[in-house]
Amino acid sequence: MKTPINFTEKFSKFSEHWSPKIIAQMNDYHFKLVKFQGEFVWHDHKDTDEVFIVLDGEMTIHFRNDDVSVKKGEMIVIPKGEKHKTSAKNECCAMLVETAGTVNTGNAGGDKTVPADAWI
C-alpha cells in the first residue's frame, strides 16, 4: 500500500488468458488485471456484483437477453446473480473489481477455472 500500481508494468508480468491476477486490495475487495481473447463460459456470481474496467481493446458481455460491448475507457457493473459470459475478438486487457475470493467461473467450474488468490 501507499505505492502507485502501474497497469502497464503489471500487464507485462503475465501473458495467459482468462487468469485474473490481483494487483491491489481495498477493504475486502480485490482489483485484478486480466487478459483474454475468445469466449469464456456462462456463469454468475451469487454473492457479489462485479466490475469490468476496459484498459485496452474491447470486450463483449453476453447476458441472457442482451450483448453489451465495452471498450477502452469504459466500465460496466455486472449485477450479482446475473448469468453472463465474456468474449473478445482480439486480445482485451481489463481490470476486475470484486470481493476477495471470487472465483472467475462462479459455480460453473470447468477447465477455465483458476485460483482466486494469484497476486502479481
Q: Select from 34, 92, 93, 97 the one that contacts a second copy (CB under 8 A).
A: 97
27 touches a second copy by CB under 8 A: yes
Length of the chain: 120
Q: How far is residue 66's CA from residue 94's CA, in Å, rounded to a whole number?
A: 21
Q: Select from 19, 29, 44, 103 the one that contacts a second copy (CB under 8 A).
A: 29
96 touches a second copy by CB under 8 A: no
Closest CA to 102 of 36, 29, 14: 29
Q: Cell numbers at residue 64, please?
A: 441472457
Q: How far is residue 54's CA from residue 12's CA, in Å, rounded to a whole number?
A: 16
Closest CA to 55 of 21, 101, 91: 91
78 touches a second copy by CB under 8 A: yes
What is the contact mask toward a second copy in residues 36 to 75, using x (rule: CB under 8 A)? ------------xxxx-x-------x-x--x-xxxx-xxx
Interacting residues with a second copy (CB under 8 A): 1-8, 23-27, 29, 31, 48-51, 53, 61, 63, 66, 68-71, 73-80, 82, 97-99
